[in-house]
Amino acid sequence: ARKFIVGGNWKCNGTRSMITDLCKELGKGESIAGKNVEVVIGTPYLYADYTRKNLRPDWSIALQNSWVGKGGAFTGEISAEMIKDIGVGWVILGHSERRNLPQLKESDETVAIKTKYAINNGLQVMFCCGELLEEREAGKTMEVNERQCAALAAKLDVADWAKVVIAYEPVWAIGTGKVASPEQAQEVHEKLRAWLAKAVNPRVAAQTRIIYGGSVTDKNCMELAQKPDIDGFLVGGASLKPDFLKIVDAYKAK
């Protein structure tokens, strides 16, 4: 059985004071030690150590990006080796904001290279994919998602997939209040799993966790979690609120 996983992506938000207060609230939830769920919080680089000191010990930390290779003369970048060195085991890569914001525009190839390098240096990766609204309306949902995942598959060895969680995030549903219906989300997850079986192999398809992101809240998480190919969530704004605990509890719907 695939272990349920809930990621919280704080994005470019937070202060030491906010993190102190939020971690105190999140610490009130029941322990997940020994349960069929894991939680990973994506904190801004600056607050990784501070978050780790304040966050409950049964939850893990991720950073939200990393450089394509080894460190060096790359001003402003963070290498996978640095992330590993401070005791962080996860990184979020390929988020739609990094793929689509005009100031960033990371290509499929760049995201794939980053992912391979992070895995080679001992990190686990939440690899994001997802289509824009105009791509969905043009009937290109799977074309886009398969293209993004195919760039990754071209870089990975079969064993590498054990370090990858695929986060399907329809861009039109991120931070908009719109959410793919459980049926829409399940359809894409099921097709992504079928694609993995064909493009990589059936074992990888069966074992890889595919999680949903896109305006997940404490109100819709239970229904989404009941779908067989939805293995958890990557949560944005709602992860900055105490009600994130209710989203973590969605693992109980499995």
pLDDT, tens digit, 9 for 90 and up, residues 55-81 = 999 999 999 999 999 999 999 999 999
| pTM strictly above 0.85 | yes
216 near 235, Cβ under 8 Å?
Answer: yes
pLDDT at position 214 over 80: yes
Give tens-digit pLDDT for 131-162: 999 999 999 999 999 999 999 999 999 999 99
CA distance 233 to 219: 13
Q: What is the CATH number of the domain that holds 61?
A: 3.20.20.70
The pLDDT of residue 180: 87
Cβ count near 118 (within 10 Å): 28
- Report the catalytic residues: 95, 169
Q: How many distinct structural domains can be found in the chain?
A: 1
User: Could you tell me the pLDDT band of residue 176, with boundaries at 50, 70 and 90?
Assistant: confident
Q: Which domain holds residue 183?
A: 4-253
CA distances for 206 relative to 2, 161, 196, 197, angstroms: 8, 11, 9, 8
In the chain, what percentage of residues exceed pLDDT 70? 100
- The full DSSP string for 71-119 is -SS-TT---HHHHHHTT--EEEE--HHHHHSTTT---HHHHHHHHHHHH
User: Could you tell me the pLDDT band of residue 116, with boundaries at 50, 70 and 90?
Assistant: very high
CA distances for 101 relative to 105, 121, 163, angstroms: 6, 27, 27
